[in-house]
């Protein structure tokens, strides 16, 4: 089995997860069949800018799916955040996206079927992928049934494990449970060393990969006094939000 190259009925579909226009172009040149375009992959991927979507659409010819995720962290969204997602879907559609990628859960760990359905309707006729929010749902089969009922096209999953290889048994179970009613897209930690093993163990027809290499910045002058990336330990269930009282204190002290 060769990943990449011409896609026929007998080959796998390879979706490349990218966070820049340059990476999107490289993925297409490498033989990827579809792109998932994100920003901020350090947070697991958030919605890319309008400029990034437009320029990527201009420079690649393969299908372009846009991440619709207003922030990092968990997948319990406020009404305001859902409205942001709806607007981002509208913009992605206008900018030439072929699909959108989203995921919403309720506090009890089930799929937020009502708002997922509303956003899916807003996205049509684009394809809709429910992303790895399913990997933190309380029951993957229950979540899958909800998504089938909503009419979502595919689900990206690692089988509720840290990597698709570790979660292969659960992914295989979801493939059987789906029974062709929804596409199961395997993702997380899939690379040239284990892609074939993941496919053989799961029975998926689509895989989601990063395929990145580290590249040093071209900056010659480098300041070590300031670091912009947060050194805090990641915690998906702790959100950094603006504190109105703290802002008020700062403003008052500056006025004093």
Domain membership of residue 73 as a residue range = 13-212+233-255
pLDDT value at residue 5 = 38
Q: Residue 6 domain-assigned?
A: no
Q: Residue 33 domain-assigned?
A: yes
Q: Residue 188 domain-assigned?
A: yes
Mind listing the pLDDT tens digit for each residue in 168-195? 999 999 999 999 999 999 999 998 889 9
pLDDT value at 8 more than 60:
no
Q: Residue 8 domain-assigned?
A: no
Place of tokens 């284990």: 194
Q: Residue 54 domain-assigned?
A: yes
Cα–Cα dist 50/36, whole Å: 15
- What's the token pair of residue 4? 């990449």
The CATH number of residue 80's host domain is 3.20.20.380
pLDDT value at 2 more than 60:
no
Cα–Cα dist 50/161, whole Å: 32
Cα–Cα dist 9/14, whole Å: 13
Q: Span 205-226, mean pLDDT?
A: 84
Q: Residue 163 domain-assigned?
A: yes
Q: Residue 218 domain-assigned?
A: no
CB contact set of 142 (below 8 Å; sequence gap of 6+) = 110, 111
66 has which bridge partners?
A: 37, 100
Mind listing the pLDDT tens digit for each residue in 50-64? 999 999 999 999 999
Cα–Cα dist 120/187, whole Å: 21
Total tally of structural domains belonging to the chain: 1
pTM: 0.87
Q: Where are the alpha helices (DSSP H) in the chain?
A: 21-29, 50-59, 79-94, 113-123, 140-150, 168-178, 195-202, 244-255
Mind listing the pLDDT tens digit for each residue in 107-166? 999 999 999 999 999 999 999 999 999 999 999 999 999 999 999 999 999 999 999 999
With cut-offs at 50, 70 and 90, classify the pLDDT of residue 230. Answer: low
Q: Residue 240 domain-assigned?
A: yes
CB atoms within 10 A of CB 167: 25
């Amino acid at each position: 089995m060769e990943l990449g190259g011409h896609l026929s009925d007998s080959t796998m579909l390879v979706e490349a997860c990218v966070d820049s226009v340059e990476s999107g172009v490289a993925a297409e040149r490498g033989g990827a069949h579809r792109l998932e375009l994100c920003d901020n992959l350090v947070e697991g991927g958030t919605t890319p800018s309008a400029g990034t979507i437009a320029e990527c659409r201009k420079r690649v010819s393969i299908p372009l799916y846009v991440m619709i995720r207003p922030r990092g962290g968990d997948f319990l969204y406020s009404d305001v955040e859902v409205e942001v997602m709806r607007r981002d879907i509208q913009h992605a559609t206008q900018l030439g996206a072929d699909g959108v990628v989203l995921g919403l859960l309720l506090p009890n760990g089930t799929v937020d079927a009502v708002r997922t359905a509303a956003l899916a309707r807003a996205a049509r006729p684009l394809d809709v992928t429910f992303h790895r929010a399913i990997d933190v749902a309380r029951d993957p089969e229950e979540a899958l049934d909800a998504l089938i009922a909503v009419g979502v096209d595919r689900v990206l999953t690692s089988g509720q494990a840290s990597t698709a290889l570790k979660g292969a048994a659960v992914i295989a179970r979801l493939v059987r449970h789906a029974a062709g009613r929804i596409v199961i897209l395997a993702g997380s930690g899939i690379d040239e060393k284990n892609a074939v093993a993941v496919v053989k163990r799961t029975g998926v027809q689509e895989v989601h990969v990063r395929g990145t290499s580290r590249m040093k910045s071209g900056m010659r002058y480098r300041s070590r006094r300031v670091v912009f990336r947060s050194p805090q330990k990641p915690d998906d269930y702790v959100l950094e939000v603006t504190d109105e009282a703290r802002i008020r204190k700062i403003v008052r002290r500056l006025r004093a």
